[in-house]
Every structure is written in C-alpha cells, then in structure tokens.
Chain A
Amino acid sequence: MSCSPYDLKDYFLGELSEAERQQVQEHAQECRACREELDRLRLTQAALRALPEEEPPRRIAFVSDKVFAPGWWQRFWQSGSRLGFASAAMLSIAILGHALLRPPAVAPPGPPGSVAIEARISAEVAKQLEPVLARAIAESEARQAKQMIRLVAEAGQRMDFDRRADRVAFEEAFSVLQKKLNVMYTASANLGGRP
C-alpha cells in the first residue's frame, strides 16, 4: 500500500494534473518506498517496450475498389450542396403552404412535396446500398472460406507428415529389435553348441 498523496500508477501513467504530479514528486523525494515502487514501474515499462512494433506484412489497400466508396447520395449529403438542397426544399414547402392556405382560386399544380422527394431518395439509397453490401459480405465470406480451406489443408499435411515420421521411426525401432534378437539367438546357439 502506497503512502503517496496520489496513486503512484496514475502518476507514472501521466494521468494526474500538473499540481498533483508536483505533490507526488515532492513526496517521492522523501519516501524511499515510493521511489522504489516507481523504479519497479519504470523497469516494467522498459521491459514491455523492448518488444518492437512490427510493420504490417502488406499495405492495407481496399479503398481503391470503387465498390466501397460512399454512394452518390452520401457524397451529396456530406457536401456543401446539402445547404442548397435544404434551402430549396424549405422554399418549396413555403410556396406549397402558401398555395394551400390561400383561398382557392384556380389552384395550379404545385411542385413535388418533400415527402415525395424523401421517398425517391430512400428508394434510390436502398437500390444503391443493397448490391454494395451484398458484394462486401460475399467477399468477406469468400476470404474466410479461403482461409479455412488453407488451414484444413495445412493440418492435413502436418498429420500426413507426422504419420510418415512415426512409421519411419517404428520401422527403425523394429529393425534394431530384430538385429538384437538375431545377435541373442546367435549367442544362444553358440553357447548351446559348446561341449
């Protein structure tokens, strides 16, 4: 149990404020046990960091495939023209509202309402999204299946190799045993043949 004003691990891991750090530092100058604990933490961290970061064996590159790019509707929605679209929609709604609230004269056919626009966008989104998702899922499944086949093949090869190694070892052991028996048999015959 540490006697430090703040948790030494919080201090060591850089999770304290500057004022709190100062207090721990002052305490550690006076307290041998806390200094030793901080040393142990430093040594542990140094050991852990001895493991190097590895470079990925291959570049991660899938985005060059256009199938993964956001659809036109996503690009549109993320772009500046969204504001223009929203303004136009609001204006259309205002005009439509005005036309509806006015005493009916000869009502001209109004512009298409926002509901119709939304329905068209939803239909278009669904149309664009489904094949893209289906393709992405199919490719992911194909990758998994390929990996599974590779693993099964490797396991088969390993088993086959082990079996062959066992057979060779058994044959060698049997051969040695046979030779020993022959020697013993010969020795026994020689002993039995003496007067």
Chain B
Amino acid sequence: MIFREVEDRDLIGKARRGNVEAYNLLVSRWEKRVFNYLLRLVGDREDALDLSQEAFLKAYQNLSKLEDAGRFAPWLFRIAHNEAFSLLRRRKPEGEPPLEPTGGTQSYRMFPIELSLAVESALARLSEDQREAVVLKIYQGFKFEEMAQILSCPVSTVKSRLYTALDLLKETLAPIQTRGVE
C-alpha cells in the first residue's frame, strides 16, 4: 500500500505537469475500484461506467487543487461519491428504486444462488448512506477517517451508519453463511 502511494504521488506529480500518459496510468490503477464502488451504489453498469468517467475527468481538471498527493484515494472517492449521489437525486423524482438489483449484476449469478441473492437483497434493503458505508469499509477497505473525508461527515456518523448496517446484514447473512459452511 505504501509502495502504491509512492507511485501514485509520482504519477500525480507528472500529471500535474501535463503528462497525459501519467494520468492514464493513474486511471488504469484506480478505475476498477472506482467502478465497483459506483456500481454497488447505483446498481447499473452503464451508469457506473459513465459516473466513473465523469469522476476521473473532474479529478483531472482539479488535480491542482489536491493539496496532499498522499490522500489521492479519499479525494478521488469524494468526487465519485458526489457524482453518484447527484445521479441518485436525479433518479428519485421518477420514482425509480435506485438500488434494486439490475441486469448489471448478472455476473453475481456465477456464485451459489442462495448466498448471492441474499447478499444482493440484504444490501438493497439498506439505506443509501448505510450501503455506501459498507461498500467503503468492507469492499474498499478505507479507514474511518478516510471515510469521513469522502462522505464529508464526522467519524461518529460514519461509525453509526456502518454499525447499524452491519447489525442488519448480520441478522440476514450470518445464518445463511453458517448453513452454507456446514
């Protein structure tokens, strides 16, 4: 992770000096993580891809505003978060449920159907804030402090959202996983 940060710093420095290829390389290092974060927030692959592109474009245009190159990941995910919630807000007036499993999650079917459906359904039952906290911690491995920066809220709020979500998920998923293990 430290090695990765050092390389990111180097690439960010080069990109700031106008080296487009360095930024391309930076994108290729982060695009999968950003795409999956957005996919689990918005539930649609095309939307997640469009949002990823917008996030990386905005990050590039604002690279000079990044004060500490060592904090690139939380800064980038903050931009992605803003893009995702902007889309979710636009969706709401149409009455479209934002996070129902869609065709975009078809590849989940490669896994045992009971567990896969249970996880999708359990995640879909969480509020947007709770689900995002789970995605950032469990799938993306951010620290509470970084999550607070991404979500622009105090650490106590981050913990509250995550712990409520974990309690809800635990009720549904732990028994199923136990059955699966047996």
Enumerate chain A residues within 8 angstroms of B63, measured Cβ to Cβ.
70
Could you tell me the distance in whole angstroms from the C-beta of A130 to the nearest C-beta in chain B? 14
**Contact B177 A44, beta carbon cutoff 8 Å:** yes
A49 to B17, CA, bound (A): 39
A98 within 8 A of B: no
B36 within 8 A of A: yes
Choice from A44, A48, A75, A147 contacting B18 with Cβ under 8 Å: A75
Q: Which of A37-95 contact B (CB under 8 A)?
A: 40-41, 43-64, 66, 68-70, 74-75, 77-79
**Contact B50 A47, beta carbon cutoff 8 Å:** no
**Contact B20 A63, beta carbon cutoff 8 Å:** yes
Choice from A15, A49, A56 contacting B35 with Cβ under 8 Å: A56
Enumerate chain B residues within 8 angstroms of A41, measured Cβ to Cβ.
166, 170, 174
**Contact B24 A51, beta carbon cutoff 8 Å:** no
Could you tell me the distance in whole angstroms from the C-beta of B124 to the nearest C-beta in chain A? 12
A53 to B115, CA, bound (A): 16
A168 within 8 A of B: no
A143 within 8 A of B: yes
Enumerate chain A residues within 8 angstroms of B174, measured Cβ to Cβ.
40-41, 43-44, 47
Choice from A47, A62, A143 contacting B119 with Cβ under 8 Å: A47
Could you tell me the distance in whole angstroms from the C-beta of A58 to the nearest C-beta in chain B? 6
Interface size class of A (residues with CB under 8 A): 35 or more
Interface size class of B (residues with CB under 8 A): 35 or more
Could you tell me the distance in whole angstroms from the C-beta of B89 to the nearest C-beta in chain A? 15
B16 within 8 A of A: yes
Enumerate chain B residues within 8 angstroms of A13, measured Cβ to Cβ.
137, 162
Enumerate chain A residues within 8 angstroms of B54, measured Cβ to Cβ.
140
Residue from A49, A61, A77, A79 whose CB has the most chain B CB atoms within 10 Å: A61
Enumerate chain B residues within 8 angstroms of A77, measured Cβ to Cβ.
64
**Contact B173 A47, beta carbon cutoff 8 Å:** yes
A184 within 8 A of B: no
Enumerate chain A residues within 8 angstroms of B173, measured Cβ to Cβ.
43-44, 47-48
Choice from A40, A52, A57, A68 contacting B45 with Cβ under 8 Å: A57
Q: Which residue of chain B has the shortest Cβ distance to A53 in the bound complex?
A: B36
Enumerate chain A residues within 8 angstroms of B61, measured Cβ to Cβ.
68, 136
**Contact A56 B17, beta carbon cutoff 8 Å:** no
A163 within 8 A of B: no
**Contact B111 A51, beta carbon cutoff 8 Å:** yes
Choice from B53, B56, B108 contacting A51 with Cβ under 8 Å: B108
**Contact A56 B107, beta carbon cutoff 8 Å:** no
**Contact B53 A60, beta carbon cutoff 8 Å:** yes
Enumerate chain B residues within 8 angstroms of A68, measured Cβ to Cβ.
57, 60-61
Interface residues of B (CB under 8 A from A): 16-18, 20, 23-24, 27-28, 31-32, 35-36, 39, 45-46, 49-50, 52-54, 56-57, 60-61, 63-64, 107-108, 110-112, 115-116, 118-120, 123, 134, 137-139, 143-144, 162-163, 166, 169-170, 173-174, 176-178, 180-181
Contacts A/B (CB < 8 Å), 30 sampled: A9-B162, A40-B170, A41-B170, A44-B170, A44-B177, A47-B119, A47-B173, A48-B123, A50-B111, A51-B116, A54-B45, A54-B107, A57-B46, A59-B31, A60-B27, A60-B35, A60-B56, A61-B27, A62-B53, A62-B57, A63-B20, A64-B20, A66-B20, A68-B60, A68-B61, A69-B18, A74-B18, A78-B18, A140-B54, A147-B50
Q: Which 5 A-B pairs have the closest CB atoms?
A: A75-B18, A47-B173, A43-B177, A56-B35, A40-B174
